[in-house]
Amino acid sequence: MEKRLIKKEALAGIAKKMAEEFLVWAPVKKEDNVLFVPLEKDVEPFFAYLNSKNAPKNVFFPHTEVMMKFTRTPEGMALTSEENKADAAVLFGVRPCDAHSFVLLDMLFDQEKYKDEYYINKRNNTTVISLSCVKPPYATCFCTSVDGEPVSDIGADILLTDIGGNYLVEFITPKGEKLAKYFGEDKADAAADAKKKEIAQKAKQAISSRIPAHEVKPILDNNFEHPIWATIHGKCLACGTCTYLCPTCHCFDISDEAKGSDGVRIRSWDSCMFPLFTKETSGHNPRTSQKERWRQRVMHKFKYYVDNFGAIACVGCGRCVMSCPVNLDIRKVIEDISKI
Amino acid sequence: MQNPYVPYPVIVDKIITEVDTKDIKTFRFKFVNPEDEAKYSYIPGQFGELSIFGKGESPIGIASSPTQKGYVEFTVQKAGVVTTALHEMEEGALMGLRGPLGNSWPLEYLEGKNIVIVGGGFAFTTLRSLINYMIYGDNRKRFGTITVIYGARNPGLLLYKDELAEWEKRDDLNMNVTVDKGDANWKGREGFVPTVCKEVAPSKENSVAVICGPPIMIRFTLPVFFDLGFSKENIITSLEMRMKCGIGKCGRCNVGSKYVCKDGPVFSLAELDKLTKEY
C-alpha cells in the first residue's frame, strides 16, 4: 500500500485535526506519567514519549465498563438496555508492542463460538496508528523475545516511523488507508523506505534484554509440580500491579451495582494475583496460595495461551518489570525456569 | 447475533422445596419470549448462569431434560449472594437465564452402552437430567441397561423423591437408592455410596460410569470402579469451579489450558489425567 512522508512537527496537528471529527486516544502527559486519554481541545499530545504508564488495552477493554442496564418492574428486575455501541475512534501513536497485544486479545475475545461484542465493537470501530520505537525506550524492553519488533506493523492500521526529520507513514490496512487524507500529499520514495529498513534493523539489534520465552514451553508442559514454583512468589505482595499494567492480561469480573430502582451490570478488570479470584462459595479455593497464583500467571502467558491460540501472551513491554513494587522480574523467572 | 452476556428473561414458574432442611429448591423457569426456548436448546450435563439483576449470576447445572418441553429446571442450594436471593423469590417473579453453557454428557458416546449413574447428595441434578433423557420414549432403546446408584446422608436430603418412586416402578431401570443413615420411616437401603457400588457391582462390559458427588464420595467410589475393571475412558464426571462469564474469557475457571466453563464441565477420568490437579 501507499507510503507518505510527513514532517515530524506535523504529527500533533494531525492528531488534533482528527480529534475535531472523532474520538482520538493519544499519549498525553499526566503529572509524571504518559497515558492514553481521549484528546481534548487545547491539549497537546506528547509523541516524544517512551511508553505509556498503562497499556492502552483500556481503549477496547475498559478498566470498568457498563455491559447492560436494568430497572425494577413489578415482576422483578428487568433489562432496559445493552450498552455495547462503539463510536468511530483512532488510537494514535501506540508502541508496536502494545499494538501486538491487540492481536493477542483478538484471539480470546473474537472466537468463533463466543464473540465478545463489547471488545469487538470497539476494536472494529477503532483505527490503530502505531509509532515505531526507533530506539528501544527502556532497558527492560524484550519484545524481540516474544515475536515482536521495535519497528513493526503487527496490529497496526497505520505505522509511523521516525526516519530523521520526517515520519514515514505506511498504510497497512484498508481501515488505515481511509485516514490517508490527514497525512498530506508527500509520497515516500524508495530512499525513505530503505532508511526505515535500516532503522528497523538497528532498533531490533539494540534490544538487549532477552528471555527464553519459546524455550520454556516444553519445560512448562512437564513441570507443573516442580519445586521451582515454591521459590518465585516469596516477596510477591499480591498487589496485582503486574496484571493491571499488562497489555495482554484480560481477566475480568462481572458485578451488579444498583441504586434505588435502577442499576448496571458492569465488568471490571480482575487479577489472578488476588486470593478471591478463584475462591468458591463453599470456601474451597483451587489456588490456595500466591505460589499457585504465580504459577497460573506464568503458565497462562507462556503455556496455556500457546496451547490454545499458538501465541505467547506477552509482548515484552516490560511494564510489569518496571512497576513491580518488590522487583519481581518475570524475565528472571522465565530465565530460571529455562534452567530447571 | 445474540450477545452471550445478556440473559434471556424468564419467569419463576414453580418452586419445589426438595429437602427437609429447605435449603435446596428446584426452580422451574418459563421463558418470557417463547422464541427464546428454542434458542435455549440444551443437552443433559450443560449448565446455565442464573441471573438476578442487582445481585449477580450463579452457574448451575441444568436439572431438567430437554425432553421436558415448555420449561427448564435448576436445583439450587442456598449458599451465596445470588442463590440466597433466588431462594427468597416467589413464583411469578422475573429474572434472567444465560446459556446453555459448557459441553455436556457425551450422549453419542453413551449410546448403545450400559450406563451406570452414580450420584451423591446434591450433585444429582445433571444426572437426573441424563436419566430423564435416557428413559424418555424411544430414547430408552438407544441405551443398554441403566443402573442408578444414588445416595444422600439421610432420607430427608434425597432430591426428586416423587421421581425416584416413579423410577423404582420401572423394570428397565435398576434403581439403588441409599442413605448413610435411615430414620424411623426409611425402608430402603442404608450404606455409603462406594459400599453400595461394590454390592451392586455393575459389569464393566460395554459400560460407562457417570459419577457426580462430593469429593469424599468420588475419592472412595473411583477405586471401586477401578477394581471392577472400568477404564478411565469409561468413567465420566463433571467439575465445578468459580465462574463469571461462562464462555472462556474472564479467566478464572481454567484447569491447565482447559476452561471448565467452555471445554468442560464434563470430563472423563482419562481426560482429567492429562490436566493439572488444580481444581
Tell me how far apart the alpha carbons of residues A211 and A336 are, in angstroms, rounded to a whole number.
Answer: 10
- In chain B, residues 151-210 whose CB comes closer than 8 Å to chain A: none
Cα torsion angle, B134, B137, B143, B146, sign: positive
CB pair distance less than 8 Å for B251 and A68:
no
Tell me how far apart the alpha carbons of residues A138 and B140 are, in angstroms, rounded to a whole number.
Answer: 67
Strand pairing category for B174-179 and A76-82: unpaired
Give me the DSSP letters along B212-264.
Answer: E--HHHHHHHHHHHHHTT--GGGEEEE-----SSSSS-S--SEETTEETTTT-
Tell me how far apart the alpha carbons of residues A168 and B88 are, in angstroms, rounded to a whole number.
Answer: 64
Q: CA of A108, closest CA in chain B: separation in Å?
A: 7
A-chain CB neighbours of B262 within 8 Å are 113-114
Q: CA of B241, closest CA in chain A: separation in Å?
A: 7
At residue A323, does pLDDT exceed 90? yes
Q: DSSP H helical segments within A207-257, as ranges?
A: 217-222, 241-245
The answer to whether A14 and A167 have CB atoms below 8 angstroms apart is: no
The answer to whether B147 and B114 have CB atoms below 8 angstroms apart is: yes
A33: helix, strand or coil = strand
CB pair distance less than 8 Å for B256 and A304:
yes
pLDDT at B1: 59
Q: DSSP H helical segments within A114-189, as ranges?
A: 117-124, 174-177
B203-258 confidence digits (pLDDT tens): 999 999 999 999 899 999 999 999 999 999 999 999 999 999 999 999 999 999 99
CB pair distance less than 8 Å for A82 and B3:
yes
Strand pairing category for A262-269 and A252-259: antiparallel
- In chain A, residues 22-81 whose CB comes closer than 8 Å to chain B: 67-68, 70, 73, 75-79
Q: What is the mean pLDDT of chain B?
A: 95
At residue B268, does pLDDT exceed 80? yes
A-chain CB neighbours of B5 within 8 Å are 67-68, 116, 118, 254
Regarding the domain delimited by B8-101, which CATH topology (the fold level of the hierarchy) does it fall under?
Elongation Factor Tu (Ef-tu); domain 3 (2.40.30)
A-chain CB neighbours of B274 within 8 Å are none
Global pTM reads 0.94
Q: Which value, in Å, is the radius of gyration of the alpha carbons in chain B?
A: 18
CB pair distance less than 8 Å for B94 and A75:
yes
Specify the residue for cell string 460395554: B206
A-chain CB neighbours of B2 within 8 Å are none
At residue B21, does pLDDT exceed 90? yes
Closest CA to A306 of A227, A204, A219, A247: A219
Specify the residue for cell string 422451574: B28
Cα torsion angle, A57, A59, A61, A66, sign: positive
**Interface ipTM:** 0.92
- Closest in A114, A270, A286 to B4, CB measured: A114
B-chain CB neighbours of A116 within 8 Å are 4-5, 247, 249
Cα torsion angle, B150, B154, B157, B158, sign: positive
Residues 6+ apart with CB under 8 A from A116: A109, A110, B4, B5, B247, B249
Query: Does B80 lie at the interface with A, CB-CB under 8 angstroms?
Result: yes
pLDDT band for position A141 (50/70/90)?
A: very high
A26-70 confidence digits (pLDDT tens): 999 998 899 999 999 999 999 999 999 999 999 999 999 999 999
Interface test with B, best of A65, A66, A68 (most B CBs within 10 A): A68
pLDDT band for position B25 (50/70/90)?
A: very high
What ranges do the domains of chain B cover?
8-101, 107-238
Chain A's closest residue to B78, CA to CA, is A281
Tell me how far apart the alpha carbons of residues B136 and B156 are, in angstroms, rounded to a whole number.
Answer: 27
End-to-end C-alpha distance for chain A, whole angstroms: 47
pLDDT at B215: 87
A-chain CB neighbours of B7 within 8 Å are 79
Consecutive H or E run containing A178: none
CB pair distance less than 8 Å for B53 and A256:
yes
Query: Does B13 lie at the interface with A, CB-CB under 8 angstroms?
Result: no
One-letter amino acid for residue A107 of the chain? M
Give me the DSSP letters along B41-96.
Answer: ---TT-EEEEEETTTEEEEEE--S-TTSTT-EEEEEE--SHHHHHHHT--TT-EEE
At residue A1, does pLDDT exceed 90? no
Q: Which value, in Å, is the radius of gyration of the alpha carbons in chain A?
A: 21
Mean pLDDT of A199-209: 95
Tell me how far apart the alpha carbons of residues B186 and B190 are, in angstroms, rounded to a whole number.
Answer: 9
- Closest in A79, A277, A308 to B252, CB measured: A277
Query: Does A300 lie at the interface with B, CB-CB under 8 angstroms?
Result: yes
Cell, residue B168: 423404582
pLDDT at A137: 84
Mean pLDDT of B34-60: 97
Q: Taking the C-alpha atoms of A201, A202, A206 and A210 in order, what is their torsion angle to the nearest 10 degrees?
A: 10
Q: DSSP H helical segments within A144-286, as ranges?
A: 174-177, 190-206, 217-222, 241-245
CATH architecture of B107-238: 3-Layer(aba) Sandwich (3.40)
A-chain CB neighbours of B52 within 8 Å are 76-77
A-chain CB neighbours of B11 within 8 Å are 75
At residue A296, does pLDDT exceed 90? yes
One-letter amino acid for residue B191 of the chain? G
Mean pLDDT of A317-338: 96
B-chain CB neighbours of A73 within 8 Å are 94
The answer to whether A141 and A209 have CB atoms below 8 angstroms apart is: yes
Residues 6+ apart with CB under 8 A from A137: A50, A51, A95
Cell, residue A4: 507518505
Cell, residue B186: 426409611
Max intra-chain CA distance, chain A: 72
